[in-house]
Amino acid sequence: MADSDTDSAQPMTLSRVVLKSGRDKSVRGRHPRLFAGAIKEIVGRPKDGNVVDVSTNNDEWLARGIINQQAQIAVRLLTWQQDETVDDVFWKQRVHRSVELRQCDPLLRATNARRLIFGESDGLPGVIADDYAGYIVLQLSTLAAVNARAAIVAALVECASPRFIFERSDEERMRYEHIKESSGVLYGEAPTEPVVIIEGGLSFLVDVPHGQKTGFYLDQRENRSRLARYCAGASVLNVFSYTGSFGIYAAASGALRVVNVDSSPDALRAAQANVALLGATSCEQQYVATDAFADLRARRAAGEQYDIVVLDPPKFAHNPEQIDRAARAYKDLNRVGLALVKPGGLLATFSCSGVVDSALFQKILFSAAIEAQRDVQVVERFTQASDHPVLLSYPESEYLKGLLCRVR
C-alpha cells in the first residue's frame, strides 16, 4: 500500500499539482476527478496516496486531493476549502454525513436495505457502502479510499452500528488505479446464510459475501414499484432478471405469468428462493438460464409476445471509447425486445452505462423502434433511487436511466 498523509495532521507544505493553462475549468466547477492530461507539472515529490494541493499555472490555489500518478485520474479531489485538512477526521466526518442523510430520507423508511455511501456524490471517491439489514458490503476502488480504509470502517461502526462489514473488490476499477484487490471481513462475523431484506413490503434474500456487485440492485428500488402498478393480469418477460426482483414485484401485483431469463443458474436459483418468500400467488414463474440475446431471438422466431417486457442489462460501456459498441448492443437488444411486446403492451428498458446519457439512450431506442417497425410512446422515465444521489458538479453520477414505453 502506498504511503498516505491522511493518517496524521496535514503537513505545513504539500506537494503541488500545477495545471496547464486553460485546464482549470473542471476543478473550479468542483468536478472530483483531475485527469493526468491536465497537469503541467508537479512541484515536490509526492508518493502515490499522498495529499496534494492543486493550483493554476499562476499559483492560484484551487483544491486539494489524493494523487495517484499511475492512474489516468491522477488526483481525486476532496476539498475546495484551503483550510480543510484531509486526514482520518476528514474521512470520518464525510462518512457520518453520508449515513445521516440516508437516515433522514423518507423514501428509505420502508426498507432495511440502502446505499449508505455513493462515491463522489457523497464526497468520498471510490467508496461504495451498501447496508443489508445491518450487514454492510464495502467497495473501495481508489487509492485514496484504500488508504483511508481504517477510518471509513471505524466511522461506519460508529454511525451505522452494523453487525458486519465485508469488503468486496471492484476488480475493474481497481485495475485502473493500479491497486491490489482486497476482500474479506473487516468487522463482525459473516452471516452463515443469506440475509433477508425488506423492500416495498416484500422480502428478498441477499448473499452478502458472494452476490453480484454488492448483492442486490438497490438503485432500481423505486422503478420496481412503479413498474409493478402495470402488472395486474399481465404476462411479463423479465430479461437479465438476476435474482428476479422485477418479477417478484410483478407477481405480488397480480401478474399471471413471469418468465425470468438470466445467464447465471445461481442467480435464478436465488430468484426461486425469493419467490418462495413471496408465498402462494396465482402467478406462474419460469426460469431460463441462457444467453439473453440468443433467448430473445428464439422467442421472436417462435412468434411469442408478452404484455410487458423488461430489459435490464449489465453495463455495456465502461468508458467513452466503448460508447459506439454499447449503442449497437442496446439497439440490437431493444429491437428484438420490441418485437416481443404485444400491441398496446409495455417495454421497460434500462441502461446503467454512465457514459451513455439519457438523450443518447432515447435516440438508440428510437432507432430500434424504426427498425422494428413499431410505434413507441414514452409513458414514464426511470432513474436511480434516492440513496444514489446525483452530484450536479459530477454529472457522471447519473448513470441509471430507463424508459417505460407503450408499444403499438
Name the active-site residue from 231, 283, 352, 405: 352
Residue type at 405 in one-letter notation: C
Q: Which residues contact 75 (CB under 8 A, 6 or more apart)?
A: 17, 33, 34, 52, 54, 65, 66, 67, 68
Three cell numbers, residue 238: 423479465
Residue 165, classed as helix, strand or coil, is strand
DSSP label at 60? -
Distance CA 218, CA 114 (A): 7
Q: Cβ(51)–Cβ(90) under 8 Å?
A: no
Query: In sequence order, what are the beta bridge partners of 39?
Result: 19
Q: Are 91 and 6 in contact (CB under 8 A)?
A: yes
Residue pair 382/403 in contact (Cβ under 8 Å)? The answer is yes
Task: Compute CA distances 100 → 86, 116, 117, 160, 381, whole Å.
Answer: 21, 9, 10, 9, 28
Inter-residue contact 329 to 316 (CB < 8 Å): yes
Helix, strand and coil in the chain, % to nearest 5: 35, 30, 40
Nine-digit cell string for 339: 418485437
* Cell numbers for 192: 452463515
User: Would residue 283 show up in a list of annotated catalytic residues for this protein?
Assistant: no
Q: 143: helix, coil or strand?
A: helix
Phi, psi of 43 (to 5 degrees): -95, 115
- Residues whose CB falls within 8 Å of the CB of residue 95, separated by 6 or more in sequence, listed in order: 117, 124, 127, 151, 152, 155, 156, 159
Positions marked active-site: 352
